[in-house]
Structures are given as structure tokens and as C-alpha cells.
Amino acid sequence: MRLRHTVTDTVLGPITIVADGEAITGLYFQHHIRRPDDAAFGVAMPVSEDPLLRDAVQQLLEYLDGRREGFDLPLRAAGDDFNHAVWDVVARIPAGQTTTYGAIAEQLGDRSLAQKVGQAVGANPLCIFVPCHRVVGSNGSLTGYAGGLTRKRVLLELEEPATASAERLF
């Protein structure tokens, strides 16, 4: 199969999901930082005609409805070895939990790489599917997110355990 994409309406606004062959290669918000030009997404494909895109959209909508915590999709992201090392760590952050750029750098063997980790997290082409929204600043503050901090907050609140959300004042 060829490079193709679909756009689906969600509670976070329109989301473009890109597939190449038998793998999902991108998930982008409408005003995504580092969003490739639409020409890089290949042909527009109705989900009714593409089982992989249909599966990705279905799983995404289930996640956003709170009926799914993770994804069972073939993913393939373009990036260098360091990016992939970071994204592998990010992919293992459980729903409802967060970590910091520094903690990821420590897992990779060098705390001084925190800024480089931040760059790799920001370059993640598979937002939500590889949950970079679960990475926060060293003091727990919300830091940059390619889809914007409002979306990051929504995603974190969606995953928040019921006991934590009941204790939250906002």
C-alpha cells in the first residue's frame, strides 16, 4: 500500500493520521508544531476503504472516549537512533503517569541529555500513539507540546485516575 492519510474529527479538533504501507507513521493536530506540509501525507483515504486507518481512527476515538488506555497498532516513526531511544522510553510510560525529560535522560544513561531528550520528544511524529503528553517539566509543570498545552492538559486529565481528579481543585 502507498502513503495515505485520513482526517477525523475529535474532541481535540481535526486529527490527521498518516499511514505508509502497513504502519501508521504520523498523527498530527490541525495546528501542530512541526506539522509537515499536507503533500507529505499522501492521498486522502476514506477509512471505509483502508483497514489500517480505520483501526487507527477507531482506537484513537476509543482512547479519547476513555474506553482505551493504549494502542495496538503497527507504528513506524522516522527519526535517528537517539530519537527512537527516547520514543521507546516514552512509549512505555503507563497511562495516568508522567515522567520528566531528565528522568528519560537518566534512563538513557546521561542526565545532561535532558534538553536533547526534549527535542526528541518534540519531534515525535506519533503524538498520542506514542504518549509524549506524559512528559512534563522537572517540577511537574506542563511544558511544550506539539498540539499545544491545552490539548496536553486534556490528555493528562483524561488519563488521570478517578481519585486524583476528585482531589483536584480545577
Instruction: Please tell me whether residue 67 adopts helix, strand or coil conformation.
Output: coil
Question: At residue 104, what is the residue type?
Answer: I
Q: Which residues contact 44 (CB under 8 A, 6 or more apart)?
A: 4, 5, 6, 7
Q: How far, CA to CA in Å, does 91 sit from each of 71, 83, 110, 166?
A: 10, 12, 19, 27
∠81-87-45 over CA atoms, to 5°? 100
- 145 vs 84, higher pLDDT: 84
The answer on pLDDT for 170 being more than 80 is: no
The percent of residues above 70 in pLDDT, for the chain, comes to: 94
Strands (E) across 2-80 are located at 4-10, 13-20, 23-29, 43-44
Q: Which residues contact 99 (CB under 8 A, 6 or more apart)?
A: 93, 134, 135, 136
Distance, CA of 28 to chain centre: 9
Residue 73 has a CB neighbour count (10 Å cut-off) of 16
- Domain extents for the chain? 4-64, 81-164
For the segment 155-159, the average pLDDT, to the nearest whole number, is: 94
Domain 81-164 classification at class level: mainly alpha
Does residue 133 come out as left (phi exceeding 0), alpha (psi in the -120 to 50 range) or beta?
alpha
Q: What is the pLDDT of residues 88-103, one digit of tens each?
A: 999 999 999 999 999 9
| pTM, to two decimals | 0.90
Among all residues, which ones are annotated catalytic?
Answer: 132
pLDDT the model gives residue 31: 82
